[in-house]
């Protein structure tokens, strides 16, 4: 049967349209709601960065990120101003909502303040319940810490009982919790009072036209800090084998901490590499801490934990036997003192 030129062109147009629709047909949409520590900032007129702002490059192209966190909002004002209604109206079954409030809930302003065990918990419960009612999945986060140190080098608990309220709600309502308050506390304490300024919006006088006189901000993250906290959040998902972790590009994590990792924590290239079937993995740390070494496929599936224990300072070597695995590229990841480092290795058979 002969096909007309017009019909042929129409067929090509439909094919191209379907290809375009398929290309932007995300498997999952992730919404995030919260305050300025999570929000988007201008890349040209601001040096602050929210940790959700820096998270998209870590996910593959099946994930759409809608960061709807708003600067200066508490759980109360986010609801009162209609922001939550907008998010709910966009939710579809299978979507995710990442929730982090607390920094502004503790302020005394009538438009912001909530009580951790009553109004704050009720607002978070509203977010969780209405997310689930739409067939979507909530993820609760405790607030990241402020850069406030005690004289002994520990980080102050500047958020009162709000993190505990989130933890309790997560247990009571069986909601996934990523305890960023605890993870960022460990991160800051591993850096110490001086080096931790590398993570926050600290600017020396004359360093930036945006802050001619310099800037000292112990609440908001800079680009390095936002990347660090984003990675801690993703680590929390991986630790719980959360479904979202299956969409991660682990290769994007390889260099995430190179600019900010303390010199006393190192992960070395495995030897030999390529290898078959045994290779040695070596790391060093100058401080005692909880150490974890995991092996992942290149697509992000965890296949083995080599170590998960508290270790004193020192140099360590572990053997990895990949005799049961297929040839390919794998990722090995070291987590110690709130820091995560990754490297690639190649198995050839």
Last residue within a domain, chosen from 224, 253, 282: 253
Average pLDDT over residues 198-203: 90
Are 106 and 160 in contact, with CB atoms under 8 Å apart?
Answer: yes
Two tokens at 263? 């010199």
76 and 176 assigned to the same domain: yes
Of the candidates 181, 147, 139, the residue with the CA atom closest to the CA atom of residue 30 = 139
| pLDDT for 90 | 96
Average the pLDDT over each of 82-91, 141-150, 262-271, 318-327 and give the range with the smallest value: 262-271
Which range, of 35-44, 87-96, 126-135, 243-252, averages the lowest pLDDT? Answer: 243-252
Cα distance between residue 146 and residue 188, in whole Å: 9
Q: What is the tally of structural domains in the chain? A: 2
Confidence check: pLDDT of 288 > 90? no
Contact residues for 299 (Cβ-Cβ < 8 A; gap 6+): 246, 250
β-pair type (314-321, 278-285): antiparallel
Q: Is 75 a catalytic residue?
A: no
| Residue 149 per-residue DSSP state | B
Contacts of 52 (CB under 8 A, 6+ apart): 32, 34, 38, 39, 40, 65, 67, 69, 98, 230
Same domain as 132, residue 276? no
Any idea which residue has 């695995």 for tokens?
325
Q: What is the CATH number of the domain that holds 284?
A: 2.60.40.1930
Where is pLDDT greater, at 341 or 50?
50
Q: How far is CA 235 from CA 104, 253, 340, 341, 342, in A?
A: 26, 10, 8, 11, 12
Share of the chain above pLDDT 70, in %: 89
213, 233, 253: which is the final residue of a domain? 253
- Residue range 56-96, pLDDT digits in tens: 988 988 999 999 999 999 999 999 999 999 999 999 999 99
The verdict on 151 and 280 lying in the same domain is: no
Judge if 200 and 77 occupy the same domain. Answer: yes
pLDDT in the model for residue 46 = 92
> Are 50 and 195 part of one and the same domain?
yes
Taking a C-beta distance cutoff of 8 angstroms, is the pair 221, 200 a contact?
A: yes
Q: What is the CATH number of the domain that holds 230?
A: 3.40.50.1110
Mean pLDDT across the chain, nearest whole number? 87
**Gap between the Cα atoms of 7 and 19, Å rounded:** 18
Residue 18, in any domain of the structure: no
Helices (H), 47-145: 75-80, 83-90, 119-133
Maximum alpha-carbon separation in the chain: 86
Instruction: Identify which of 246, 308, 315, 254 has the alpha carbon closest to the alpha carbon of residue 280.
Output: 315
pTM passes above 0.75:
no
| pLDDT at residue 17, rounded to an integer | 46
Q: In terms of C-beta distances under 8 Å and separation of at least 24 residues, what long-range contacts does 189-197 make, across chains too?
A: 189/153, 189/154, 189/155, 189/338, 190/262, 190/265, 190/287, 190/289, 190/337, 190/338, 190/339, 191/260, 191/262, 192/153, 193/149, 193/153, 195/262, 196/147, 196/149, 197/147
Instruction: Report yes or no on 218 lying in a domain.
Output: yes
Last residue of a domain, one of 253, 284, 311: 253
pLDDT tier for residue 1 given thresholds of 50, 70 and 90: very low
* 171 plus 316 within the same structural domain: no
> 209 and 139, same structural domain?
yes
- Which of 103, 137, 220, 342 is catalytic? The answer is 220
> Is 334 a domain residue?
yes
Query: 10 Å Cβ neighbour count for 195?
Result: 13
Name residues whose C-beta falls within 8 Å of residue 210's C-beta, 6 or more positions apart in sequence.
45, 46, 47, 203
Q: Examine the domain organization and report whether 65 and 116 are in the same domain.
A: yes
204, 216, 290, 327: the active-site residue: 216
- Asked whether residue 2 is domain-assigned, the answer is no
Q: Flag whether pLDDT at 131 surpasses 90.
A: yes
Q: Are residues 201 and 227 located together in one domain of the fold?
A: yes
Summarised one tens digit per residue, pLDDT across range 215-261 is 999 999 998 889 889 988 998 998 888 999 889 886 555 445 444 45
Residue 216 bears catalytic tag: yes
Q: Does residue 3 lie in a domain region? A: no
Domain that holds residue 195: 23-253
- The total number of residues written for the chain in this structure: 349
3-state helix, strand, coil in the chain (%, to 5): 30, 25, 40
Catalytic residue among 32, 36, 75, 196: 36
């Amino acid at each position: 049967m002969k096909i007309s030129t017009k019909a042929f062109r129409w067929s090509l147009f439909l094919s191209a349209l379907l290809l375009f629709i398929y290309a932007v047909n995300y498997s999952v949409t992730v919404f995030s709601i919260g305050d300025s520590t999570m929000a988007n900032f201008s890349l040209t007129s601001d040096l602050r960065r929210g940790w959700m702002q820096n998270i998209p490059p870590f996910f593959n192209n099946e994930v759409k990120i809608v960061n709807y966190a708003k600067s200066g909002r508490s759980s109360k004002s986010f609801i009162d101003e209609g922001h939550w209604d907008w998010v709910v109206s966009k939710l579809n079954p299978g979507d995710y909502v990442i929730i982090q409030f607390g920094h502004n809930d503790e302020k005394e302003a009538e438009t912001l303040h909530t009580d951790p065990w009553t109004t704050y918990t009720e607002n978070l419960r509203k977010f969780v319940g209405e997310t689930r009612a739409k067939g979507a999945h909530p993820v609760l986060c405790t607030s990241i810490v402020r850069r406030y140190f005690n004289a002994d080098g520990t980080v102050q608990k500047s958020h009162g009982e709000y993190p505990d309220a989130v933890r309790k709600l997560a247990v009571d309502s069986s909601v996934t919790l990523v305890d960023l308050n605890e993870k960022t506390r460990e991160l800051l304490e591993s850096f110490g009072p001086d080096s931790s300024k590398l993570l926050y919006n600290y600017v020396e006088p004359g360093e930036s036209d945006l802050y001619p006189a310099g800037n000292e901000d112990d609440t908001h993250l800079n680009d390095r800090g936002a990347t660090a906290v984003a990675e801690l959040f993703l680590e929390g998902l991986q630790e719980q084998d959360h479904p979202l972790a299956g969409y991660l590009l682990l290769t994007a994590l390889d260099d995430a901490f190179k600019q900010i990792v303390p010199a006393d924590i190192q992960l070395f290239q495995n030897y030999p590499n390529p290898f078959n079937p045994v290779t040695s993995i070596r790391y060093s740390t100058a401080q005692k801490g909880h150490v974890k070494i995991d092996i992942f496929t290149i697509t992000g599936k965890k296949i083995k934990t080599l170590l998960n224990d508290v270790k004193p300072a020192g140099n360590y070597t572990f053997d990895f036997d990949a005799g049961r695995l297929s040839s390919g590229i794998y990722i090995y990841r070291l987590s110690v003192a709130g820091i995560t480092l990754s490297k690639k290795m190649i198995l050839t058979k």
